Amino acid sequence: MSKRHTTLGEFLIGRPEEFEYDNAELGQLINAIRLAGKVVSHEIRKAGLVDITGTIGSTNVQGEEQKKLDVFANEAFINTLTNRDIVCGIVSEENEEMITISGANNRNRNKYVVVMDPLDGSSNIDVNITVGTIFGIYRRISPVGTPVTVEDFLQPGNLQVAAGYIAYGTSTMMVYTTGNGVHGFTLNPAIGTYYLSHPNITIPDMGNIYSVNQGGYVHFPEGVKKYIKYCQAEEDDRPYTGRYVGSMVADIHRTLLLGGIYIYPQSTGKPEGKLRLLYECNPFAFLLEQAGGRATNGAQRIMDIKPTDIHQRMPFFGGCVAMVEKAESFLKKNS
């Protein structure tokens, strides 16, 4: 007889210490996110069968061409989080301004804000490569009962109360942390239930994979170029293997499970970096650190940086502690 697996709901109920605030509130937040994730997962698996792939002919606030599934995923998460009546505001990659939730039933009493990239890596949809949703959750700092403010979102990552991602690949997985380790749950699509499949994820102490878009090599800082050459050198336990999917969720998921380093540096064309601090860098920095890894911008811990804009960009170096520290040493020598 096969062992019965723990469901996500049972896991939350069985760990009252999981959340420093009301565990029922955590349940509401995670339930809203997992429900929207199931809706998006179902739609992604229909891609190619219905008219849901391709672009819609417009761009988002980042100047990136919007895919049909970008818009669908954004609406699914906004609607689900709004209907569950648990958050007072949302920041999404797809929306220029923050979204205020203060309807007649809310009266600004909700205590949490959510930041998200509803469909990371969506340019890969049309070629059937893993994409995902990234989310971070903060407790508001403005008084309950008043309208949400932008300052509720511009908090450093070390004040996140939860963060995670949903990977839509060969299986749909939800991975999250509340500061008590990192846990992964795999969706059984036949019954629509997430089961605990990866408890207490711990990143290996060392890895042999480096992940960076080498197409931008000529535009990288000298320290990054020299670190890449170090990874490719035939000595000691090198060369490392190069792996780059182009979907941050897929690349970080692999890094968490197998070890290695993920790099998205600044470049001559993007001196501030490309990734967004609030809803890409901070959630993954929280996850990596909780799994025993490290995440910096090349010189400073990501989660100590106070955001100045909801769409602020940032370089990112994350993965095994030793590998990130080695990359930082090259940056420091060649600054």
120 assigned binding-site residue: yes
Write out 6-74 in H/E/C secondary structure: CEHHHHHHCCHHHCCCCHHHHHHHHHHHHHHHHHHHHHHCCECCECCCCEEEEECCCCCEEEHHHHHHH
Q: Cβ distance 165 to 253 under 8 Å?
A: yes
122 assigned binding-site residue: yes
112 assigned binding-site residue: no
304 assigned binding-site residue: no
Q: Cis (ω within 30 of 0) for the bond into 239?
A: yes
Alpha helices per DSSP H over the chain: 8-13, 23-44, 68-83, 222-232, 248-258, 282-290, 321-333
The C-alpha torsion from 55 through 243 and 254 to 125, rounded to 10°, is: 10
165 assigned binding-site residue: no
State which amino acid sits at residue 18. E
What is the b/e burial string over 50-81, where b = at least 16 CB atoms within 10 angstroms of the residue's CB? eebbeeeeeebeeeeebbbbbbbbbbbbbebb
280 assigned binding-site residue: yes
Q: Could you tell me how many residues make up the chain?
A: 335
State which amino acid sits at residue 198. H
195 assigned binding-site residue: no
Nearest to 180 by CA among 194, 160, 166: 160
Which two three-digit tokens encode residue 290?
A: 């909780």
Q: How far is CA 297 from CA 53, 151, 154, 287, in A?
A: 34, 22, 18, 16
328 assigned binding-site residue: no
211 assigned binding-site residue: no
Q: Which residues are annotated as a binding site for Mg(2+)?
A: 93, 117, 119-120, 280
Q: Which residues are annotated as a binding site for substrate?
A: 120-123, 213, 244, 274
Q: Which residues are annotated as a binding site?
A: 93, 117, 119-123, 213, 244, 274, 280
